[in-house]
Structure 1
Amino acid sequence: MLIQSALAALRQTFSPPLRAILWKSLGLTLGILALAWFGLTRLIQWFQASHHISQSYPILDSLAYFLAGFGLFVALAYLMPAISILVAGFFLDDAAEIVERTDFPNDPPGRPMPWGSAMLYAMRFAGLTLLVNLAALVIFFVPVIGLAAFFAANAYLLSREYFEMAAARYRPLAEAGEMRRAFSGTTIAAGCLLAGMMVVPVLNLLTPLFGIALMVHVHKRLTHRLPAPALQGRLR
């Protein structure tokens, strides 16, 4: 079921109906990354100037710039999950509506979340994701454990955020959370797929749109798998 959903989401991501949203999503993601890069580089330059590294230790100055470049690359990679969630909040309803119309034309359409509520939810969860990933960044250089912590944390966070945002088009947010927990194996597996995308440069830029399409499919297929009474029983 998850493989079918992932293949359908990948097809949808590059399909003509979603192409305009894809370009907007890429543009917004790159814009936020550029702002983050600008802010971090200015912070590093201020730190170096304020501590007079260049005048006292020119070799260390060159080394600091080298490490800063690599460190910035790593830092931006750890920022991507939070940025992905924030960008997804902007385009959730437009993208989900297209997926519903093209792949589930016989199902009742979802109801868009109020834009303010959707963005507040996305920003709140993006902030939580940012804090968790900053904590994971602290142990980045610990062999195996650093990467494992990044993957495990984001598999959970991305599965929770993307599934609940998609499911909230069809049911109250509290019920969407209950459904996620009832089908935790499937939703976490979908989150592992998204977390895997996060560690691949360039491919991680597609995560917001792909994640929306994936979780719309996952929610739809889970809903179709069980009759309504059985589903309600699982959610209690």
Structure 2
Amino acid sequence: MSQLFSPLLRALNQLGDAVFLGVVLRSVIWSAICFTALIAAILWGLQPLLHLHGTLAWAADLLGTAGTLLLAFWLFLPVAAVIGTFYIERIARAVERRHYPTLSPARGAPLGAQIADGLSLGLRILLLELVGLIMALIPGIGIVLGWLIAAYAIGRGLFMAVAMRRMPRPAAIALYRGSRGTVLVQGGIIALAAYIPLLNLLIPVIGTAVMVHVLDRALSTASEAA
């Protein structure tokens, strides 16, 4: 059991790190800017589009605000994940500096491939959350299915992003396949935080830190097997 939660506990123990707190702050600020711009664009564009005035304009503003807030809540995780990918290198370096100081500097996949994979992660989470939202309407199993989808998207996406810092994409995929069970279990643990307000702000930071520890374990296992 201690092995199961060890990556998460080690990540949480480093949460006070200045690098971690800086990334959380930046993610919150950029997410807030994105959603504020989205709300403003919808509200300012709604009235001229519908030519509403008086009470109808007020009602349209209210409905538009409510709908936009719901949209923002749904979009938060993929947006935060995309934003978090821009800081994966910074978070991973902080984890390695504290826990794996003897590691050589990361030289993996080209930066363009890493960015493309990060953007793919955000899009994948967005699409899978839409599926999860539809599945949530299924009595009994909808929430569980949504959680499993999030576990896959977050687990695989963050593991691949971390692994590609140190190896080409084909090698990262092969390592993922050999550690799929561990990656998905850790992804499931991280995905639970997505349902908890405020705690979901930490997903890009804690998730990346967790996967650095998972990657180290996967590399050690692969080395022993060889």
Instruction: Tell me what 1:12 maps to.
Output: 14
Tell me if structure 2 keeps the 8 A contact 1:100–1:109: no
Aligned partner letter, 2:4 = L
2-structure distance, mates of 1:51, 1:143: 39
Percent identity between matched residues is 24
What is the Cα deviation at residue 109 of structure 1?
Answer: 3.3
1:85 to 81, 87, 99: 81
| Cα deviation code 1:185-222 (max 9, x no counterpart) | 21111111221111111111111111111100111122
1-structure distance, mates of 2:20, 2:127: 31
Equivalent position SS for 1:180: helix
Worse overlay, 81-90 or 151-160? 81-90
Tell me if structure 2 keeps the 8 A contact 1:112–1:169: yes
What is the Cα deviation at residue 227 of structure 1?
Answer: 5.5
Q: Which runs of 5+ in 2 are unaligned?
A: none
2-structure distance, mates of 1:188, 1:40: 37
1-structure distance, mates of 2:184, 2:152: 6
Tell me if structure 2 keeps the 8 A contact 1:2–1:218: no
1-structure distance, mates of 2:179, 2:148: 18
Instruction: Tell me what 1:24 maps to.
Output: 26
1-structure distance, mates of 2:166, 2:21: 25
Instruction: Tell me what 1:34 maps to.
Output: 36
Counterpart mapping for 1:187-198 below 5 A = 187-198=183-194
1-structure distance, mates of 2:144, 2:41: 28
Tell me if structure 2 keeps the 8 A contact 1:93–1:112: no
Aligned partner letter, 2:175 = M
Tell me if structure 2 keeps the 8 A contact 1:162–1:212: yes
TM-score normalized with structure 1 length = 0.79
1-structure distance, mates of 2:19, 2:134: 41
Q: Which has the higher contact order (CA 8 A, sep 6+)?
A: 1
Tell me if structure 2 keeps the 8 A contact 1:159–1:191: yes
Tell me if structure 1 keeps the 8 A contact 2:109–2:169: no
Q: How many pairs are equivalent?
A: 224
Q: Which runs of 5+ in 1 are unaligned?
A: none
Whether 1:128 aligns to 2:129 is no
Instruction: Tell me what 1:97 maps to.
Output: 93
Tell me if structure 1 keeps the 8 A contact 2:114–2:164: no
Tell me if structure 1 keeps the 8 A contact 2:81–2:204: yes
Tell me if structure 1 keeps the 8 A contact 2:109–2:166: no
TM-score normalized with structure 2 length = 0.82
1-structure distance, mates of 2:42, 2:139: 25
2-structure distance, mates of 1:153, 1:39: 31
Tell me if structure 1 keeps the 8 A contact 2:95–2:209: yes
Counterpart mapping for 1:174-189 below 5 A = 174-189=170-185
1-structure distance, mates of 2:140, 2:62: 26
Instruction: Tell me what 1:165 maps to.
Output: 161
Aligned partner letter, 2:12 = L
